Structure 1
Amino acid sequence: MYAVPNMDLWKGRTDSLIDKDEFRIHQIVSDHSKTSTNDSCGIIGFSCDEGVRRNKGRLGSKEAPNEIRKSLSSLSWHGQSADNLVDFGNIICENQQLEAAQAELGSHVEKILTKNIFPVILGGGHETFYGHYLGVRSYVGPNVKIGILNIDAHFDLRSYDQMTSSGTMFKQILDNDSQASYLPIGIQRYGNTKKLFNTATSLNCSWIYEEELVNEISSENEEKIQNFINQNDCIILTLCMDVINASEAPGVSAPSSFGLSGKIVRELIRKITSHKKTISFDICEVNPSLDYDNRTVKLAANLINEVFMCVDKK
């Protein structure tokens, strides 16, 4: 089900009603009925944790889109203009109808791209990504090479013979789309079974381990990411918040004891979303019901703001 934007969520501190250099995000967001040629990013939520339920995870991520909006509201705006963000509302998964909700999300993502606006999708469980992908594929057509960069502790390449879930999306895509390729970044060695590593290999995927990104993004890994980008016509970026260390992101279904730092993830986001080939972004697996002091929600909001700034400067 589609829900129109609730603009009452966009509230926060106001330093000035006139000076745009003092504006915060809640002062520049408009609803979907007021899009303009200056808009650079379109926000759409996917209120769903059905995929997490099917994957036997901890529920609560369906509440994330609105909680993230609240946290975004008071962040200061450093963009080049003051009318760059538009809220397109939420897709709500009802009655466990995951596939229908993903299809509806895809339809809205395609519409946002058609308006020449960069989609920023607020999940939801990581099943959000399949709907995100459907929208991009429909927009670019069947013959365009799509590169999927996934900042994540997990491959999410599980079998979907019985049912799809938050752990199957990338296998669904790679099995059925010969023009899609996949590079996960931040893979936890012991957070994935041997079978999942074997599945990744059989699908011609490479990956970057979490332990390779402890202190910095090495020149070797920068080159690996850049080569992946070069081999594709467009890039879609997805971030699963469980890739981040549990001390910084406790509010996720599967927290990572040895996860990446928020700063490393921020640097990855900056490098990838600033590239001209990157056309969309989603953030998934924030679970407000498991969060501590809104720590994960606040971190998610700040990482999303990095996306806004990178896209604004393109």
Structure 2
Amino acid sequence: MNRIRHNFIIDLTLLIVVFFIFSCKDKTNHSVEENETYKIVLPSYMPSLPKEPSQNPTTKEGVILGKALFFDRKLSKTNTISCGTCHSPKLYFTDNLARSNLGRTGKKLARNTPTLINIVYAENGLFADGGIKNLESLPAAPLQHPDEMAMDLKKLPFLLQKDTNYPILFKNAFGNDTITNALIFRALAQYQKTIISPSIELKLVSKWDSVQQNKAIFSESELEGQKLFNQHCNSCHTAPLFSDYKFHFSHLDTLINPIKYNKNELGRQRVTENSSDYLKFKTPTLRHISKTFPYLHDGSVDNLNYFLEKNNLSNEEKSALLDFLECL
């Protein structure tokens, strides 16, 4: 009887050991197929998210990695700036500078830093001229630009490979702990896809959102401003994204010198090489517009009052329209 009990204990012990080994093996050999899809819950008034590229579905693990990379200064040559330096969450993913001088050389860039809010919806191209096709290819430009992060992309994967945490994070996100630029770009894209307004987590909820959700009501002045907005602005700045993400030659470009800081500025023509696209720029989103100053592609307008002064509106109408814009 004791012998039977002894054999049973040995068998049970072996079973526990085998179970433990296989449990550890599963955690070590993490499969990308096991990753948890990152679910972005949108209110009913928001459009569905664009279809994702099949090679880069957004996962919880990918977003965690992308966020770590986005705020890591090791991605710059001098280890002094990150993507989040110019696209600060505290500043609604901008830097509130007319033209950023936060890069490696301290030189001012040719264009204003755009907000990243709702960038996932910009399917017609990124940058003011649409020169970048998608989020997966976006990081290459600022990472390499000599006046921005000035990173040598040939060295970047090796630098991150030396970090004790990144190989694990890449393994979790993509099933491979060998770091490449392609995987770096994919992870950064996944994080940027989550920068959506409204978002309680990112503190990107405006009064306009609260009104849509029946949690607030517009004042009389804001309602009047909404009417004026629909009459004068809505054709390009269409709700709920408040942008059509198309390229236009705005009448404001005849009022403001469009090549004040960059005499070589071509606008959309730089990409298409079509003269009809000269000085056309992508419609910027007006979401949280009162917080993402200064304005236009070169940051040449400091405040919203400038735009109101250029329209044939009464003082009361200007005040009402401004009240509505501050709700967005």
Q: TM-score range by the shorter chain?
A: under 0.3
Q: Which protein shows a greater Rg?
A: 2
Q: Which structure: greater strand fraction?
A: 1
TM-score, normalised with respect to structure 1: 0.25
